[in-house]
Structures are given as structure tokens and as C-alpha cells.
């Protein structure tokens, strides 16, 4: 039985980790930290966990986390890197749900997150935790940088076109990603724009001049493309893609619409078959029948990501991707990574059916 700790247990991703791990057949949640709620019972803050856990929030100290096989960081950016070396020294593996171990370029990290990276050597060792791309590397990793929610939808929405191409199928610089997220993606915090009266009955774009997930998307797509024919030439061109996130008046859920201009070679292939073949053995990817219209509620509370394809013009492919931003977009994917790291059944603790209605 794995001994598991969570640093930062009072946010939405933290409590989602508790929900998933409390019923995991191979994991025992032993430590849940919070600087502000130390000493309080977890089920007092989150009544949904009454009868599920009797844990009490503790302080975030090396002594509290000693003995854990794996520690999840559901914390603001910059926290995990400060504790990573000491945890690794005691044999504890790390899965960070923030951005400390996502971007391999330290200058890029410092530009977008406004802080120096204190562990560049550990950053180089870390593995980007997108199982459908890096499963083999995840198996032997000590540090996982759990992907961002938007980048998960974009990379998995484009993976078949990039991974299996023996020739260039897409025009990278033409990519347009029109993405929407529920308000839980902004975290559990007091902020005017997230108040009910502000977010409800409203729809708006944000990060219009640049979003932190843009360089992560570019890095991920370039990594995938670099492994296929003409990949190196394609990788640089992804910097020209357009990414526009929006906030929609729902609690959880994410919908990314990806517009792709196809090359002549891309126009000639059966894209539906390409996606079906690519994901046929992936437990958490559902390629829907051609011309389907996926809904966010079809994945709510589950680790499933659904994809639908629409070829609206000979050279234009529209890919629709939905996921729960707190599950496959965060905590669920983190647990999926844990399962892979420790040689467990990859689906363990994650076979929840979506909530509907």
C-alpha cells in the first residue's frame, strides 16, 4: 500500500485528490498539509468527505512528509521546487500540479511565472506527465510535472496528426485554439472576477495578450512533432499558433475547439481512422463517431477526455475536445501518473462514471 501525502489540501485540486485517493485500492492517504488550516479536520472544511477520511490538516514540514512514497503538490507555483531536493533525498517521489516542473526552459519559466527557478538540475530530470505521450519515461521518473488543463486538451487533440505522420499533415502556424474553462480552473480563492455575480450569466476571454499555458502548449506540440518525420522543421513553427482562453459560467469543465489547416497529405488521409487507431488502447481517451458533438457534462467528475472530429472544408479540420479540468486536467491525471510510476493498474481509482445530469 502506497503512503501518500498532499501538500496544499484546501484548494480545488487538493480536495479532488483526496476524493480520488480515498477510494484508491493501492494508496493510503497519510498526510494532508495546510498552513492556514493546521489542526482542523478535513471533513469539517469539506463535508463531502465525512465518513471518507478522518485526517487532520497538518503543517508542511519534512517531518510530516517523511515516510511518504509519493507527495502531490497542489500548491501555488514555486512551492514544490523548494522542497523537491529534500523529499527526493529521503526516497519520496514528487508529482507537482503547479508549473515548477513543466517548462524545461528556465528562462521561459522565469519570464512567464515571474520567479527564478531554484532547482534547474531537478527540472532537467523531471518528466512531463502526459501519459499518452510519455508513458515509458513516467515509469522511471522521480519528479513529474503534471500538465496544465488547457495544454492537456490541445496536445491530445493534436497528437494523432503529429505522432503518426510520415509526412507533414498540418500547417503548424495556422493552428487556432479557442478554449473555454469553468471557474474552478482559477482556483479556490477570493477574487472579484470569480464572484457569483461576476462570473454567472457572463462569458469573457482572458489572457488575451498572452497566457502562461501558451509556451507549455508550444513545448508539448514541438516535442511530439520532433519524434516524427520532418519534426524538427515543424517544431519551431508552433510558436505561431493562436491560443485564446475564455471563462464560462460553469463550475467545472473544459471545451477546446482546435482549428487545423491540413496540408495536401493531410487532406488525403482518413482522419477519423487515424484518431481511432491512435487511441484505441488508451483507457481515458474516447474518440467519438464522426460529426459528434461532445458535451462537458459527459466527462464531469471523470478522468475521461472525449474527442470529436469535423472536416468542414477539404483543408480544414475542427477538433472538439472536452474534459473535466479538475480531473483529467489536474488531479485525475496526477493519480494516473502515480499509478504508472509505481507499476499499478493505470486505471486504479479512476474509473468514475461522469455525473449526469
Q: How far apart are CA 211 and CA 344, in angstroms?
A: 35
Q: How far apart are CA 341 and CA 91, in angstroms?
A: 13
149 is a catalytic site residue: yes
Q: How far apart are CA 300 and CA 304, in angstroms?
A: 9
Q: How far apart are CA 76 and CA 294, in angstroms?
A: 31
Q: Is the Cβ–Cβ distance between 334 and 7 less than 8 Å?
A: no
- Among the options 55, 138, 149, 154, which is catalytic? 149
Strand locations in the chain (E): 2-7, 27-33, 70-73, 93-96, 127-128, 143-145, 176-181, 204-205, 242-247, 254-261, 285-287, 305-313, 316-323
Q: Is the Cβ–Cβ distance between 33 and 79 less than 8 Å?
A: no
Non-local CB neighbours of 196 within 8 Å, separated by 6+ positions? none
Q: Which residues are catalytic, by number?
A: 149
Amino acid at each position: 500500500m502506497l503512503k501518500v501525502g498532499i501538500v496544499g489540501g484546501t484548494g480545488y485540486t487538493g480536495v479532488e485528490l483526496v476524493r480520488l485517493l480515498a477510494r484508491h485500492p493501492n494508496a493510503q492517504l497519510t498526510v494532508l498539509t495546510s498552513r492556514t488550516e493546521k489542526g482542523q479536520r478535513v471533513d469539517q472544511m469539506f463535508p463531502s468527505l465525512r465518513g471518507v477520511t478522518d485526517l487532520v490538516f497538518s503543517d508542511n514540514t519534512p517531518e510530516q512528509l517523511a515516510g511518504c512514497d509519493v507527495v502531490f503538490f497542489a500548491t501555488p507555483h514555486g512551492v514544490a521546487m523548494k522542497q523537491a531536493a529534500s523529499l527526493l533525498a529521503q526516497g519520496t517521489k514528487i508529482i507537482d500540479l503547479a508549473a515548477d516542473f513543466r517548462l524545461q526552459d528556465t528562462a521561459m519559466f522565469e519570464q512567464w511565472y515571474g520567479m527564478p527557478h531554484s532547482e534547474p538540475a531537478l527540472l532537467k530530470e523531471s518528466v512531463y506527465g502526459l501519459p499518452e505521450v510519455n508513458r515509458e519515461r513516467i515509469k522511471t521518473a522521480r519528479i513529474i510535472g503534471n500538465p496544465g488543463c488547457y495544454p492537456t486538451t490541445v496536445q491530445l487533440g493534436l497528437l494523432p496528426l503529429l505522432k503518426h505522420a510520415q509526412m507533414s499533415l498540418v500547417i503548424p502556424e495556422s493552428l487556432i485554439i479557442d478554449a473555454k474553462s469553468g471557474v474552478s480552473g482559477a482556483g479556490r480563492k477570493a477574487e472579484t472576477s470569480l464572484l457569483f455575480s461576476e462570473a454567472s450569466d457572463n462569458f469573457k476571454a482572458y489572457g488575451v495578450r498572452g497566457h502562461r499555458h501558451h509556451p507549455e502548449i508550444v513545448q508539448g506540440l514541438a516535442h511530439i512533432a520532433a519524434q516524427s518525420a520532418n519534426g524538427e522543421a515543424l517544431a519551431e513553427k508552433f510558436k505561431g499558433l493562436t491560443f485564446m482562453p475564455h471563462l464560462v459560467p460553469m463550475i467545472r469543465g473544459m471545451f477546446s475547439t482546435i482549428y487545423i489547416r491540413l496540408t495536401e497529405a493531410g487532406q488525403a488521409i482518413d482522419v477519423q481512422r487515424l484518431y481511432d487507431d491512435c487511441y484505441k488502447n488508451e483507457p481515458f481517451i474516447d474518440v467519438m463517431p464522426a460529426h459528434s458533438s461532445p458535451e462537458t457534462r459527459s466527462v464531469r467528475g471523470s478522468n475521461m477526455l472525449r474527442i470529436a472530429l469535423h472536416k468542414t472544408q477539404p483543408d480544414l479540420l475542427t477538433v472538439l475536445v472536452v474534459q473535466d479540468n479538475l480531473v483529467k486536467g489536474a488531479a485525475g491525471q496526477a493519480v494516473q501518473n502515480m499509478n504508472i510510476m509505481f507499476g499499478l493498474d493505470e486505471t486504479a481509482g479512476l474509473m468514475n462514471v461522469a455525473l449526469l445530469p
